[in-house]
Amino acid sequence: MSTAIRLGTTTYSFNDEYHSYDLSLESMFETIGSLSPKQGLEIIAPQCIRTYPEVSEEFERRFRYAVERYDLIPSAFGHYSDLGRISGHELSIEEAVEFSRIQLEGAKRLGYSLARMSYQSFDLIDRREALYRQLLPDLERLELKLAIEIHAPNIIESDQQQRVIEDVAELNSPFVGFTLDCGCMTSRVSPVCERKFLELGVAPAIVKRVIDFWATSPSLAELRAEIEAIDGGSLVELLATETWIYFGHGKPAAMRAVMPYVFHVHGKFFQVDESGNDDAVAYPEIIEILVSCGYDGWISSEYEGHHWLKNRGAYAQVQAHQRYLRRLINECEASKSAAATRCN
């Protein structure tokens, strides 16, 4: 396997096991460490830290102990802007900066050099008000990278996302870039989603209609019109909404233009099938572009099949996903090496 691209996982992969008390915080870290030596550990801050947004001394002590004991490497700190965290009140710029600053300082104390940022700022008239611009002095002070997440239903190619990409390119800071979530680039709705709604009693013909409609890349307005036309009740509405939210229509080719600003990758997946391949995300094309562009950061496996499957199967799925990624990376590296040899 290439020594450039490193593999890890996010604690979100074990969301079902953790919130069902099958895993404690430490046993979740132990489970992640058992996937491979030097496994990358991405934590979801509000999931793992009771004192969120602050990192307590107790959590820092427990975290550092777990990292050393289970041979983990802090890869990304899951930071959230959460502008609507107070009911009925959207955080002001000053409040948002302070809320983020607390998280970033905590990330640094835990040994992270990168924070993934869940934040949308598409419609800002004055880009100078963007939170990532406001945080730049803190990022420079902490020497901490901030990676804004590009996440379905938004895709790289959308006009909204392009505005943010252009602004980050103009900012041209080594501390502000992107986390690319692979769920932006799917070729189909995952069968685990389809099966769940069939099991819940949605008629096969209706499930097929919804999924066929998803394949047309509808806008939100078109989706709502289709739901109204079907008039199938709340389950059909939920199915249609989930296909639109979780399965992005972006094309991997769009990655090439944004790769100079990609600091981190979320290896979103919903199920690795019996043949050892992902059943929805366009990974062969994604990995080929990452390798050919010389990406040398982390890919955090992010299992989301637990939205529909409640079988506590995250460990086997993450393990299978990382085997799949290693195979693709090796194939791409071998092809790249062979091409270089031919050129010489």
Give the model confidence (pLDDT) of 150-176 as tens digits.
999 999 999 999 999 999 999 999 999
Same domain, yes or no: 226 and 254: no
Same domain, yes or no: 184 and 198: no
Q: What's the one-letter identity of residue 259?
A: M
157 occurs within a structural domain = yes
Q: Is 44 left (phi over 0), alpha (psi -120 to 50) or beta?
A: beta
Beta carbons of 179 and 154 less than 8 angstroms apart = no
Same domain, yes or no: 145 and 263: yes
Question: Which range (100-104, 224-228, 233-237, 338-342) has the least confidence?
Answer: 338-342
50-72 pLDDT per residue, tens: 999 999 999 999 999 999 999 99
Please enumerate, as own/partner, the contacts of 330-333 that have beta carbons within 8 Å and a separation of 24 or more. Answer: 330/1, 330/2, 332/287, 332/288, 332/291, 332/292, 333/1, 333/2, 333/291
Measured between alpha carbons, how far apart are the two ends of the chain, in Å?
Answer: 23
For residue 141, the enclosing domain spans 6-188+247-343
Same domain, yes or no: 113 and 27: yes
Same domain, yes or no: 128 and 63: yes
**For residues 211-229, average pLDDT:** 94
**For residues 10-25, average pLDDT:** 96
Listed residue (114, 121, 57) closest to 83, CA to CA = 121
291 occurs within a structural domain = yes
- Residue 1: pLDDT band (50, 70, 90) is very low
Same domain, yes or no: 261 and 234: no
Beta carbons of 314 and 306 less than 8 angstroms apart = yes
Looking at the 3D structure of the chain, how many domains does it have? 2
Same domain, yes or no: 125 and 180: yes
106 occurs within a structural domain = yes
- Residue 338: pLDDT band (50, 70, 90) is confident
**For residues 106-131, average pLDDT:** 91
225 occurs within a structural domain = yes
H-state helical runs in 135-214: 136-142, 159-171, 191-199, 204-214
Same domain, yes or no: 26 and 175: yes
1 occurs within a structural domain = no
- pLDDT score, position 2: 46
Which class for 143: exposed (0-12), middle (13-18), buried (19 or more C-beta within 10 A)?
A: exposed
Q: What's the one-letter identity of residue 249?
A: H
Helix, strand, or coil (residue 109) = helix
**For residues 237-266, average pLDDT:** 97
pLDDT surpasses 80 at 333: yes
Same domain, yes or no: 16 and 140: yes
Same domain, yes or no: 253 and 296: yes
Beta carbons of 74 and 112 less than 8 angstroms apart = yes
141 occurs within a structural domain = yes
pLDDT surpasses 80 at 108: yes
